[in-house]
Amino acid sequence: MSGHRQPLLMLAVAAVGVALPFVIPDYRAQIAMLWALVIMAQTWDITGGQTGYNSFGNILFFGVGMYASVVVQRDVGLDFFPGLVLGMVVGAGIAAALAVLLGSMILRMRGHYFAIATLGLGIAAGEIAGGWDYLGAGSGLSPPLFPAPPGTANLFFAYLYFGVAALVFVALAALYRTRFGLALNAIRDNEDKAEAMGLHTGVYKVTAWTMAAFVLGLVGGAMGNMLGFVDPRDTAFAGATFGVWMVLMAILGGKGTLWGPVLGAVIFHITQELLWTHLLGWQRVALGVIIVGIVVFFPQGILGWARTRWPARHEHQGHGSERA
Amino acid sequence: MSAQLTIEGATKRFGGITANEDISLEVPEGRIVGLIGPNGSGKSTLFNSVVGYHPVDGGSIRFEGREITRLRTAEIARLGLIRTFQQTHVFVQMTGLQNMAISDAEAGHGLFQLMRPVSAETRERAEALLAFCGLYGKRHLMAGELSFGQRKLLELAMALMVRPRMLLLDEPTAGINPTLINGVIERLQRANREFGVTLFVIEHNMRVIMSLAEHIHCLAHGRLLASGPPEALRNDRRVIDAYLGAR
Amino acid sequence: MAANVALLGDAPFLILQLLLDGLMIGAIFAVAAYGMALVWGVMNVINVVQGELVMLGGFIAYQLTLWGLSPLWGVPVAAIVLYFVGAGLHHVVIRRVADRDMFISLLATFGLSILLQQLMNQIWGGDVKTAQSGLGTWFLLDYTVTVSQMKVAAFGGAIAIGAVLIIFLKRSRLGQAIRATAQNPRAARILGIDTNRVFAATYGINAALCGAAGALVVMAYSVHPYIGLPYTVRSFMIVIVAGLGNLPGVIVAGLGLGAAENFAGFILGVQYQVAFVFCLLVVILVIRSTLLQRRRQFLK
């Protein structure tokens, strides 16, 4: 994906995103979910792919956003839309604050210890929410209903998530062109060297994770209303579904690339939706097989594979400022 | 001549092993100073202590009048004291230019200073230094695709990109094709002369260090054995014995 | 919460009760942890599917009761079945990820854990299962402290399993090959040890350990398709605290964790017991990494 074709591709994807809810109106809920998954994969890749800090617990921020948003909507007493917006913003804010707090403690660990610590955080959050009466404990919470027929609700969420996904994409494309993006890559490649060159690695890592947390908080903040219920372990802190999917989608498309997570999310979501209808009862088992299969046999991802297949395309576009 | 780096009584132990014992030496500003000694004599340990990779157990280290004994690696690097590694450390999945761009200390390491694309000035300086190190033609290659010697040169270029006050070079010619060694020596001398960078160099290759350094310190068994100009050390009985393994 | 603490002060027999219960399940944690340390040390894989293997062992023992057999048979049967499950998993998945970046093996075993959860959920359903061993209860100290005989048997069983494993590793040829490979895989290969077979056997033995432990769990406690992960995390914590290849450490850490968890469950409320386990994991990691940071080292 060389530099001058990037805008064309982005325009094409944007056009698809705008048209899709009207081309296949029966699938608006799935379209909304697709863009939400795209965002999850994109944000996971900020630390996972670009910085080399593989988190298994980013679902924490999604779930915190979801709970915070629904609690705000429950307790503040605004109308649906102002309540939703306030809820999303509060959720994102709390998620970001948590990322700063936890990140400054656990981002000092390297490699798999960070991965396992984040896994622990994600599950602990679900367990705490599942025991806390203020959050509805095990039975969860019911968000306010969308004040219009379900078809309209899904249209709204499809465009909401598409908008966020597009913004995140553009923002990340810009971010990865800055020296901050290079600093993250430097940490990924050799953190000791990055420190030896005087980089404030700790600050950058926490910042990167906080960015991911903020966006995931936003996504979670609307997801409760879209799904119609908040459950501690099955929707909010769903480590075995969204939590691992975001890792998987980024890997499937190609870690550490701008388009990889998008591509991975699209392919994964379509595959999963197809499985859903054909393998009644066994779809979760099949998903497990897919996860293991991708990790074992295709860890470099589609773009990683393409890069080794056609290395020439990448040779002349490494301008320090211009990357795929 | 004023001492830019002052090491006083540096002692470093690992478990029961004393890697550095009561080492005191100075590196004057603007010079090229060598650090030699047989394998295991504690040279790299001393470097690691100086740059804050691990703190010393005793003694003190001052850089340009400032106490740096307890500072961390990145803080010391920001004072302009940069080290390179014996086994090269570069950012392998980034291009040569990207390696250089992130090393530009002048463009800043603060979060907000980083939040902008690579500037034209950074790029020009990076290209000039890559040309200085003979890597201009390879600037778009991933650092991981470079040969070992080229990576060493890239690491030198990255260090110069910081506009360091002093470079600690850990065996800059080890593992490099002998025909390229003279090129490295010449570049180090030019860096010292043209950019005014003090060099403190660990080197095993006697021919290299004798022609490069103006003053040499020799370690053996974790202690400072001898110091002096190259000719003096070359004929020093203790140094010869240390290298031949006699005690 | 404070009331619960006060209650402990008023009724010392409660402390004894919690301590006993904790120590008894702690022995089972130690067995699973020892298996994890074995796989980690020998093949450099952190086996996230550990807890699901324990659950699978429990479900196999449960299945035996459905066929009219005593669940006690479950201990050897689950061990044998799980050995082959483990060797099979190694052949299909683990051997392909063992020598790669540890993140890949973490993710692959995490994927296996999700897969096994779903498979067990599909086969045995999503309810909590127990198997009645037919053993009764002892009452101590004037009926203030109850001791389930099955829990005592499970405690003894866990110790016996551990003892068998240690004798096996010390005495048998395969055990020696495993230990040699753990110390230096390359040297072992040069000495003519088929390291791939050693890896398969190691993984199989670990699975067998988990299976036997799971059979004890289903009799003394209960199993459920989705509660494997806490067992994984417990094993991991125990190994981190004790260090690889430190058997006494594993036992002490296992028993200690069992006791700590029981007290936490009592004080915080039983609904937070699992949350406590995962929070403790994070706390332990943060403490260890902070201590290392003082020496300019990192947890890695």
Residues of B in Cβ contact (< 8 Å) with C293? none
**Please, what is the average pLDDT of chain B?**
90
**pLDDT tens readout for residues B148-169:** 989 999 999 999 999 999 999 9
Q: Report yes or no: C285 at the A interface, CB cutoff 8 Å.
A: yes
Asked if B72 lies within 8 A of C295 by C-beta distance, the reply is: no
User: What's the rounded Cα separation, in Å, for the pair A59 and A246?
Assistant: 9
Residue B112: in which H helix or E strand, if any?
A: helix B111-114
Give residues with Cβ within 8 angstroms of B131, minimum separation 6: none
Domain count, chain A: 1
Q: Which residue of B has its CA nearest to A190?
A: B91
**Please, what is the average pLDDT of chain C?**
89
Residues of C in Cβ contact (< 8 Å) with B72? 296
Closest CB from A106, A110, A295 relative to C111 = A295
User: What's the rounded Cα separation, in Å, for the pair A198 and B202?
Assistant: 21
Closest CB from A120, A128, A297 relative to C272 = A128
3-state helix, strand, coil in chain B (%, to 5): 40, 25, 35
pLDDT at residue C18 above 60?
yes
Residue C264 Cα, gap to closest chain A Cα (Å) = 14
Q: Report yes or no: A256 at the B interface, CB cutoff 8 Å.
A: yes
Q: Tell me the whole-structure pTM to 2 decimals.
A: 0.91
The DSSP symbol for C73 reads: G
Closest CB from A113, A127, A292 relative to C112 = A292
Residue B205 Cα, gap to closest chain A Cα (Å) = 25
State residue C20's pLDDT score: 87
Q: Which residues of B touch C (CB under 8 A)?
A: 52-55, 72-73
Residue C8 Cα, gap to closest chain A Cα (Å) = 22
Residue to test with chain A: of B91, B127, B169, most A Cβ within 10 A: B91
Residues of C in Cβ contact (< 8 Å) with B54? 295-296
pLDDT at residue B29 above 50?
yes
Asked if A113 lies within 8 A of C285 by C-beta distance, the reply is: yes
Q: Which of A39, A66, A91 is nearest to A142 (CA)?
A: A66
Residue C250 Cα, gap to closest chain B Cα (Å) = 25
> Chain A window 102-131: which residues touch C at a Cβ cutoff of 8 Å?
105-106, 108-113, 115-117, 119-121, 123-124, 127-128, 130-131
Give residues with Cβ within 8 angstroms of B194, minimum separation 6: none
Q: Report yes or no: A184 at the B interface, CB cutoff 8 Å.
A: no
Please report, rounded to a whole number, the percentage of residues in chain B having pLDDT higher than 70: 98
User: What's the rounded Cα separation, in Å, for the pair C198 and C179?
Assistant: 10
User: Does a structural domain hold residue A78?
Assistant: yes
Residue B19: in which H helix or E strand, if any?
A: strand B17-28
Kindly indicate whether the domain formed by B29-49+75-246 is annotated with CATH number 3.40.50.300: yes
Amino acid making up residue B185: I
Interface A-B: count of C-beta contacts within 8 A: 117
Asked if A295 lies within 8 A of C104 by C-beta distance, the reply is: yes
Classified as helix, coil or strand, B201 is strand
Residue B104 gets the label, from left (phi > 0), alpha (psi -120 to 50) or beta, of: beta
All chains having 3 or more CB pairs closer than 8 angstroms to chain C: A, B
Residues of A in Cβ contact (< 8 Å) with B110? 200
Edge-first strand order for the sheet with B215-220 is B81-84, B166-170, B198-202, B32-36, B215-220, B223-228
Closest CB from A111, A115, A285 relative to C119 = A285
C-beta atoms surrounding C255 within 10 Å = 21
Asked if A197 lies within 8 A of B100 by C-beta distance, the reply is: no
Q: Report yes or no: B128 at the A interface, CB cutoff 8 Å.
A: no
User: Does a structural domain hold residue A314?
Assistant: no
User: Does a structural domain hold residue A320?
Assistant: no
Site of tokens 């409760």: A224
Can you spell out the DSSP letters for C235-275? Answer: HHHHHHHH-TT-HHHHHHHHHHHHHHHHHHHHHH-GGGHHH
The DSSP symbol for A177 reads: T
Asked if A137 lies within 8 A of C298 by C-beta distance, the reply is: no
Q: Which residue of C has its CA nearest to B14?
A: C295
**pLDDT tens readout for residues C21-75:** 889 899 999 999 999 999 998 998 999 999 999 999 999 999 999 998 888 899 9
Residue B53 Cα, gap to closest chain C Cα (Å) = 7
Residues in chain A: 324
Report whether B19 contacts B45 (CB < 8 A): yes
Report whether A71 contacts A131 (CB < 8 A): no
State residue C17's pLDDT score: 85
pLDDT (average), residues B24-36: 92
Asked if B141 lies within 8 A of A315 by C-beta distance, the reply is: yes
User: What's the rounded Cα separation, in Å, for the pair A11 and A15?
Assistant: 6
Tell me the three-class secondary structure of chain C, residue by residue: CHHHHHHHHHCHHHHHHHHHHHHHHHHHHHHHHHHHHHHHHHHCCCCCCHHHHHHHHHHHHHHHHHCCCCHHHHHHHHHHHHHHHHHHHHHHHHHHHCCCCHHHHHHHHHHHHHHHHHHHHHHHCCCCECCCCCCCEEEECCCCEEEEHHHHHHHHHHHHHHHHHHHHHHHCHHHHHHHHHHHCHHHHHHCCCCHHHHHHHHHHHHHHHHHHHHHHHHHHCCECCCCHHHHHHHHHHHHHHHCCCCHHHHHHHHHHHHHHHHHHHHHHCHHHHHHHHHHHHHHHHHHHHHHHHHCCCCCC
Q: Which residue of B has its CA nearest to C292?
A: B54
Closest CB from A195, A198, A207 relative to B162 = A198
C-beta atoms surrounding B121 within 10 Å = 11
User: What are the residue ranges in chain A where pLDDT is below 50?
Assistant: 1-2, 314-324
Q: Which residue of A has its CA nearest to C108?
A: A292
Asked if B93 lies within 8 A of A199 by C-beta distance, the reply is: no
Report whether A1 contacts A9 (CB < 8 A): yes
State residue A230's pLDDT score: 93
Asked if B114 lies within 8 A of A192 by C-beta distance, the reply is: no
**pLDDT tens readout for residues B54-98:** 888 989 999 998 999 889 889 999 999 999 888 889 999 999 999
Asked if B53 lies within 8 A of C295 by C-beta distance, the reply is: no
Residue to test with chain C: of A59, A132, A282, A285, most C Cβ within 10 A: A285
The residues with which B28 forms a beta bridge, in sequence order, are B3
Closest CB from A180, A189, A198 relative to B114 = A180
**pLDDT tens readout for residues C151-176:** 888 899 899 998 888 899 888 989 98
The token pair at B236 is: 């020093």
Closest CB from C107, C112, C272 relative to A247 = C107
Residues of A in Cβ contact (< 8 Å) with C279? 120, 124
Phi, psi of A260 (to 5 degrees): -50, -55
pLDDT (average), residues C237-246: 87
Q: Which of C2, C25, C33 is nearest to C218 (CA)?
A: C25
User: Domain coordinates of chain B in residue numbers?
Assistant: 29-49+75-246
Residues of A in Cβ contact (< 8 Å) with B78? 198
State residue A319's pLDDT score: 42
Residues of B in Cβ contact (< 8 Å) with C295? 54
Amino acid making up residue A138: G
Asked if C111 lies within 8 A of A137 by C-beta distance, the reply is: no
All chains having 3 or more CB pairs closer than 8 angstroms to chain A: B, C
**pLDDT tens readout for residues B166-185:** 999 999 888 888 888 888 89
Residues of C in Cβ contact (< 8 Å) with B55? 296
Q: Which of B115, B223, B203, B99 is nearest to B157 (CA)?
A: B99
Closest CB from C112, C293, C300 relative to A113 = C300
Beta-strand relationship, C137-140 and B223-228: unpaired
The token pair at C41 is: 């040390």
State residue C100's pLDDT score: 84
Residues of C in Cβ contact (< 8 Å) with B53? 296
Residue B115 Cα, gap to closest chain A Cα (Å) = 6
Closest CB from C100, C271, C300 relative to A111 = C300
Domain interval for residue A86: 3-309
Residues of B in Cβ contact (< 8 Å) with A175? 115
Asked if A320 lies within 8 A of B126 by C-beta distance, the reply is: yes
The token pair at A256 is: 């550490």
